């Protein structure tokens, strides 16, 4: 069987019914412990580090898994620290990799082992297909204190911009007082339409002390939000790129349509059929 994971999953191979042994009710629990169904057996991670794999190695691994009573594996193509001269493997998603993956599907089907595929360009859901619009984001802001009443023409700085990517959310003004730290949501004024391209803002401010808050969103800029291929980074070529925005369903759909559908298509070529798709977190 085969499941895609993001764990997102797809299962292949036929289900084999559990054969009940001739055991008494008294010994039923003990018998099931001694002869558990495949669904109760161990599953393990199966790492293809830098995709350094061969057909012979794949077959040997899987046969050893089977011999040890393991009923399923979750295939993870990953990188990691490779030393000064890492032994790099086949190109991820290249023709040779696809042939090896199809071989793995056929072998797991032959051995009745569930094969899971970690839907990722290395450790996480990342890769060359992920655009900035679908990458991880953070909310950023700047603020300016002003006093009214009067017609104001002020410059409010643009919030942090990472890798040239930024979108406005809103410009708002709220009154502040030394007597309270609370803000009445009903008295917040939306100034978004007054913000000009040169960061200037013209506003006829009512009396009082005000804070003008400008908010937007940009890329996170975190080292793990954009992975690089070895030797600059810890993943393999073909897996490098932005990590997706997990709060954006369109980003997940796009990622699945690229990597997920590619892997499913290769599995089908090897005689597999989709049985389940499940998220494991």
Across 40-44, 119-123, 150-154, 194-198, least confident range: 119-123
Q: What tens digit of pLDDT does each residue of 128-165 get?
A: 999 999 999 999 999 999 999 999 999 999 999 999 99
Distance CA 120, CA 224 (A): 13
Q: Which two tokens stand for residue 132?
A: 């900035």
Considering only the C-alpha atoms of the chain, give the largest distance between any 2 of them, rounded to a whole number of Å.
92
Q: What is the DSSP secondary structure assignment for residue 91, as one 8-state letter?
A: P
pLDDT at 82 over 60: yes
Q: What is the DSSP secondary structure assignment for residue 53, as one 8-state letter?
A: -
Q: What tens digit of pLDDT does each residue of 24-57 get?
A: 676 788 887 888 888 888 999 999 999 999 999 9
Closest CA to 101 of 77, 131, 72, 128: 77
Residues across the chain: 281
Confidence (pTM): 0.80
């Amino acid at each position: 069987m085969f499941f895609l994971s993001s764990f997102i999953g797809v299962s292949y191979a036929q289900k084999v019914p559990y054969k009940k042994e001739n055991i008494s009710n008294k010994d039923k629990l003990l018998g099931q412990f001694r002869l558990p169904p495949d669904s109760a057996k161990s599953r393990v991670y199966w790492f293809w580090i830098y995709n350094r794999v061969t057909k012979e190695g794949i077959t040997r691994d899987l046969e050893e898994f089977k011999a040890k009573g393991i009923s399923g594996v979750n295939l993870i193509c990953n990188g990691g620290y490779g030393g000064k001269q890492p032994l790099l493997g086949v190109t991820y998603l290249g023709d040779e990799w696809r042939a090896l993956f199809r071989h793995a599907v056929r072998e797991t089907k032959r051995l009745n082992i569930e094969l899971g595929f970690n839907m990722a360009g290395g450790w996480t859901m990342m890769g060359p297909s992920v655009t900035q619009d679908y990458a991880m984001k953070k909310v950023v802001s700047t603020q300016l204190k002003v006093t009214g009443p009067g017609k104001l023409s002020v410059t409010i700085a643009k919030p942090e911009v990472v890798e040239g990517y930024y979108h406005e959310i809103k410009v708002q003004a709220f009154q502040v007082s030394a007597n309270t730290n609370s803000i009445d949501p009903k008295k917040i004024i939306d100034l978004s339409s007054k913000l000009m391209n040169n960061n200037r803002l013209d506003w006829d401010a009512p009396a009082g002390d005000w804070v003008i808050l400008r908010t937007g969103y940009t890329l996170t800029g975190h080292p793990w939000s954009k992975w690089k291929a070895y030797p600059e980074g810890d993943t393999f070529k073909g897996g490098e790129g932005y990590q997706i925005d997990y709060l954006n369903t369109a980003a997940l759909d796009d990622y699945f349509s690229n990597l997920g559908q590619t892997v499913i298509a290769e599995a089908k070529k090897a005689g597999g059929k989709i049985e389940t798709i499940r998220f494991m977190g």
